[in-house]
């Protein structure tokens, strides 16, 4: 145990640990206690407990102390910083009482940024402190207690949980960090193969891919699916046996460079240093590519290496997307594990089950044909090889791949020997042929709509399709885009070229402003807010097929679209496992 005695009824700091835990004290004071914790396997991580000043005039003392702790942190070490900071990061973390000034929140945020610490979220109630006033006008609750960590902590320990616990007799909730879960470095059994973009920077990688591609085609008799499966098998084997993990290679290369730089100067050592520096730079570039692929950052095209930014972004994305528990309709809670997986799968099985009504023709009869002769000319034009290549060019290089694990950059880099076969098979599907086995297999991932999802409706399902299938769907979509503005009603302001969904938002705002400002008049008005499910989740296939026919699409186009819609096979991804 280590403690700093309280001053009156406040400012006391204490750290307790179990017998057998290896804890080394770094420093302590009235605002903090700072230690190193050594795991059984030898891994060392830093734990800092903070008790921030509550008086507004003295809060800068806390931030100065925190920045000083950050200056003494060794880069590359894991750091967990947790406690009662007595400050909030955003206005939504406080309800009641005087509003916190932006300057106060900025000072806190600046202190965390200088230490390269980020808030790592929570499970449970957002507010960790209450004044327990019985008067609504003076009741205050805030999120003053939190856990923060650096990017290395989040990378090595991705399965931790931060729980805002039950307060019992205190006005503060305890912040509990649970580190149980999958061990770092252990691959999840349910994860599928994913091609690493940095492998393309390895010498000889393209040759391996070319050989695997040709072997997978079985002398021209096999398809793209068979070839890609063979590429995945051989590349993954080569990566494990020859390439190895980028982190270990980079660490060794840096050590070799450091050792060389400390040797007596000679022509041989100068040449060796230059060679090793090139090796380190090459490996750092590959690691940057690896972390960028994981981060899914799409806005950054060029610039200096941003490896640490990508690591932090990827860690934050994984943490945010992880579902710890969900509340069912009956109020019961399902926890992470098999029970949660079964609940989510049953929900989507029910969602995707047909419930065709008996009023289909009554609705369809009201629809007038809209496809004109010039539109038919656009749709009936022969599909070209250029359209397929244009579709590929519009797919982001590192966009999340489908079940086959192959990103579009793999096709683009090797289009000179893959292109002809890929285009031939895509055109065969577009011209009426069946969709080959495996093309339309899809992974559904769940992205939270809110910061802390509590119900399954707080999760947005996103479909991850194979690139080869995306080529088919994108060519179809690009053709339809030309005629959509003349088919879709003007009231539909999204997903149509030249229209903006913000138009509807502005109209809704103006209408609500009118209703609130209207004080007199003989007529009454009302507004209805309808919470609609995502349209595609609820559209019946029979309705879609009948609607396409009634709008005037030729049967070949109806068959093509329905072939894409009805051939899909879904797999649900729950916390990284299928």
- Strands 44-51, 22-28: pairing is unpaired
How many Å apart are CA 267 and CA 502, to the nearest integer?
66
Task: Specify if 188 maps to a domain.
Answer: no
Q: Is 144 exposed, middle or buried (0-12, 13-18, 19+ CB in 10 A)?
A: buried
Please indicate, yes or no, whether the overall pTM of this predicted structure exceeds 0.85: no
Helices within 159-241 (DSSP H only): 205-216, 224-238
Domain count, the chain: 3
Among the listed residues 297, 186, 195, the one whose alpha carbon sits nearest the alpha carbon of residue 239: 195
Same domain, 317 and 339: no
Cβ pair 503, 491 in contact under 8 A: no
Same domain, 125 and 77: yes
Q: What share of the chain is helix, strand, coil (3-state, %, to 5)?
A: 45, 15, 40
Same domain, 425 and 491: yes
Helices (H) and strands (E) in the chain, counts: 19, 19
Cβ pair 402, 467 in contact under 8 A: yes
Cβ pair 177, 82 in contact under 8 A: yes
Cβ pair 567, 440 in contact under 8 A: yes
What does the pLDDT read at residue 184? 36
Kindly give the interhelix angle for 267-295 and 307-321, rounded to the nearest 10 degrees: 30
User: Which residues form the domain of 216?
Assistant: 197-321
Cβ pair 436, 225 in contact under 8 A: yes
Query: Where among 321, 352, 387 does a domain terminate?
Result: 321
Task: Specify if 105 maps to a domain.
Answer: yes
Same domain, 336 and 417: yes
Same domain, 348 and 250: no
Task: Specify if 578 maps to a domain.
Answer: no
Render each residue's pLDDT in the chain as its tens digit; 578 residues: 555 666 655 667 888 888 878 999 999 888 889 999 998 778 889 999 999 998 888 899 999 999 999 998 887 789 999 999 999 999 989 998 988 899 999 999 999 999 989 898 888 888 999 888 888 888 899 999 999 998 888 777 766 788 888 786 788 999 999 875 433 333 344 456 788 888 888 888 889 899 889 888 875 556 898 899 888 888 888 877 666 678 888 888 988 988 888 788 788 888 898 899 899 898 888 888 887 777 655 545 545 455 555 555 556 666 667 787 888 888 888 887 788 888 888 888 887 777 766 777 888 888 889 999 999 999 999 999 999 999 999 998 888 889 988 999 999 999 999 999 999 999 999 999 999 988 999 999 888 888 778 888 888 888 999 999 999 999 999 999 999 988 888 888 877 888 888 888 898 889 888 888 877 777 788 888 776 655 556 778 888 899 999 999 999 999 999 999 989 998 888 887 77
Beta-bridge partner residues of 183: none
- Tokens 């992470």, residue? 336
Among the listed residues 574, 104, 42, the one whose alpha carbon sits nearest the alpha carbon of residue 342: 574
Same domain, 77 and 115: yes
DSSP per residue, 225-258: HHHHHHHHHHHHHHIIIII--HHHHHHHHHHHHH
Look at residue 355 and give its three-state secondary structure.
coil
What does the pLDDT read at residue 183? 37
Domain holding 24: CATH number? Answer: 3.60.10.10
């Amino acid at each position: 145990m280590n403690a700093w005695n309280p001053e009156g009824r406040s400012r006391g700091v204490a750290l307790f640990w179990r017998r057998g835990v290896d804890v080394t004290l770094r420093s302590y004071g009235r605002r903090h206690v700072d230690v190193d914790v050594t795991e059984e396997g030898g891994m060392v991580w830093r734990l800092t407990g903070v008790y921030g000043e509550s008086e507004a005039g003295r809060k800068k003392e806390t931030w100065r102390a925190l920045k000083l702790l950050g200056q003494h942190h060794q880069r590359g070490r894991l750091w967990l910083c947790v406690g009662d900071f007595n400050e909030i990061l955003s206005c939504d973390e406080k309800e009641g009482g005087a509003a916190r000034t932006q300057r106060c929140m900025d000072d806190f945020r600046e202190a965390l940024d200088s230490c390269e610490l980020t808030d790592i979220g929570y499970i449970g109630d957002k507010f960790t402190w209450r004044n327990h006033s019985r008067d609504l006008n003076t009741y205050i609750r805030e999120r003053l207690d939190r856990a923060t960590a650096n990017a290395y902590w989040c990378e090595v320990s991705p399965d931790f949980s931060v729980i805002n616990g039950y307060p019992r007799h205190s006005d503060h909730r305890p912040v509990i960090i649970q580190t149980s879960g999958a061990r770092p470095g252990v691959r999840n059994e349910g994860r599928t193969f994913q091609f690493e973009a940095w492998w393309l920077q390895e010498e000889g990688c393209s040759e391996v891919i070319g050989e695997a591609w040709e072997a997978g085609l079985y002398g021209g008799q096999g398809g793209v699916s068979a070839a890609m499966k063979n590429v995945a098998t051989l590349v993954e084997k080569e990566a494990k046996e020859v390439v190895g993990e980028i982190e270990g290679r980079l660490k060794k290369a840096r050590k070799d460079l450091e050792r060389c730089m400390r040797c007596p100067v000679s022509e041989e050592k100068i040449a060796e240093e230059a060679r090793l520096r090139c090796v380190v730079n090459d490996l750092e570039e590959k690691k940057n590519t690896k972390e960028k692929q994981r981060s899914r950052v799409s806005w950054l095209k060029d610039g200096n290496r941003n490896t640490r930014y990508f690591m932090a972004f990827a860690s934050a994305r994984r943490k945010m997307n992880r579902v710890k528990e969900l509340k069912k309709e009956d109020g019961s809670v399902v926890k992470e594990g098999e029970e949660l997986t079964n609940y989510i799968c049953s929900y989507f099985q029910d969602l995707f089950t047909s419930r065709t009504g008996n009023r289909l023709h009554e609705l369809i009869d009201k629809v007038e044909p809209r496809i004109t002769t010039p539109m038919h000319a656009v749709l009936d034009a022969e599909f070209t090889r250029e359209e397929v290549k244009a579709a590929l060019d519009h797919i982001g290089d590192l966009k999340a791949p489908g079940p086959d694990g192959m990103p579009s950059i793999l096709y683009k880099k090797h289009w000179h020997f893959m292109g002809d076969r890929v285009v031939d098979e895509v055109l065969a599907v577009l011209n009426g042929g069946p969709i080959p086995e495996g093309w339309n297999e899809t992974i559904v991932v769940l992205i939270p709509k809110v910061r802390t999802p509590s119900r399954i409706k707080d999760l947005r399902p996103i479909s991850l399709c194979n690139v080869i299938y995306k080529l088919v769907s994108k060519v179809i979509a690009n053709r339809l885009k030309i005629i959509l503005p003349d088919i879709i009603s003007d009231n539909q302001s999204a997903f149509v070229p030249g229209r903006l969904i913000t138009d509807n938002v502005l109209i809704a705002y103006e209408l609500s402003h009118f209703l609130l400002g209207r004080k007199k008049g003989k007529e009454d008005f009302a507004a209805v807010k309808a919470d609609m499910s995502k349209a595609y989740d609820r559209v019946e296939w029979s309705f879609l097929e009948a609607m396409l026919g009634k709008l005037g699409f030729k049967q070949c186009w109806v068959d093509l679209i329905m072939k894409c819609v009805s051939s899909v096979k879904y797999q649900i991804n729950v916390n990284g496992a299928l």
